Amino acid sequence: MAQSVAGFRPAPRLPLGDRAFSVILALSAGLVLVLILILGLSLAHGSAAAHAKFSWSFIIGTDWDPVRGNFGALPFIYGTLASSLLALLVAVPVGIGTGIFLAEIAPRSVAGPLAFMIELLAAVPSVVYGMWGIFVVVPLMQHVQGAVGGRWGDFFLFSGPPVGIGLLTASLILAIMILPFIAAITKDSIQAVPRVQAEAGLALGSTRWEMISGPVLRYARKGILGGIVLALGRALGETMAVTMLIGNNPQIKFSLFRSAYSMAAVLANEFAEATRDLHTSALVAVALTLLGVTLVVNALARLLIWSAIGQTEGRPS
């Protein structure tokens, strides 16, 4: 074979099977983007009437009245974001701590069965969590809200009657639902850390906690943060449990004990009963907004993760 310019041989062509496999993988990845595009276009077409009438006031409006034909989605956006972020505040420390315990501290005889039981929580249907929340968590929250409200009820975060159902109750159930994702991915990420990382830290005189919080978590942070983003996506789109526990009140009240409403909950409650075309179009617009909020929040979370990892890797050790 003749040599090319500068004496370098051309790169060998891949075998036919490898090229076909690469094409199939590229088409599979492209199919995901096509499906998202089709979904977005379908929702945009179905919500055209609502967007034509309300324009941007649909996003920033706070009045949701199907009888009068007034539709504003801001209360649902607030309820979705508030419940998801509160759930993350509860689930992230517990999930990461559980993953560290299973991967580094618990003996194998305990870690195996416990990890299996935690992962089973992800398989429990959403409606079961909702029923459990109604019969177990709501009565407990009534006592908690009564005690807290009696002492700090004048503070806006704790105002409201002690009915048990509300934003905080739904967020606690959401935290339990997303906990298995964070714990399982944290455990797997830590177990993927090369043992020489941990052994090097111990050899340098680090305590067990210093070894875990230093080289182990630093090596596993990408996987852990990815698990948090996955849990956030699950929390944003959760429907049945939130519908049963959040109170379904389309008003913005900055209190943990007040009722709220999420975008997924309003779709579950009203879509089958929508009789007017404008009402149906408004609900489809809520679905499109939920898709957009999910994409934007997950994209921002990914950017924050990449920024944090980049800054950490850029520091001298």
Model confidence pLDDT, tens digit, residues 159-199: 888 888 999 999 999 999 999 999 998 998 888 888 887 77
Distance CA 183, CA 217 (A): 14
Q: What are phi and psi of 65, to 5 degrees?
A: -135, 95
Q: Residue 202: in which H helix or E strand, if any?
A: helix 195-203
Bridge partner list, 260: 247
Q: Record the tokens describing residue 149, joined without a space.
A: 């409200």
Mean pLDDT value of segment 110-133: 90
The 3-state secondary structure of 32-86 reads HHHHHHHHHHHHHHHCHHHHHHHCCHHHHCCCCECCCCECCCHHHHHHHHHHHHH
Residue 152 in this model has a pLDDT that exceeds 90: no
The pLDDT value recorded for residue 6 is: 54
CA–CA distance from 17 to each of 8, 10, 27, 119, 267 (Å)?
A: 26, 20, 15, 38, 47
What class is the 46-272+279-312 domain? mainly alpha
Confidence of residue 205 (pLDDT cuts 50, 70, 90): confident
pTM score, whole prediction:
0.84
Task: Decide: 166 and 242 in contact? Cβ < 8 Å.
Answer: no
- 65 has which bridge partners? 70
The answer to whether 83 and 174 are in contact (CB under 8 A) is yes
pLDDT at 17: 76
Q: Over pLDDT 90: what percentage of the chain?
A: 43
Lowest pLDDT segment from 30-44, 139-153, 195-209, 254-268: 195-209
* pLDDT higher than threshold 90 for residue 264: yes
pLDDT higher than 70, residue 245: yes
Mean pLDDT across the stretch 229-241? 88
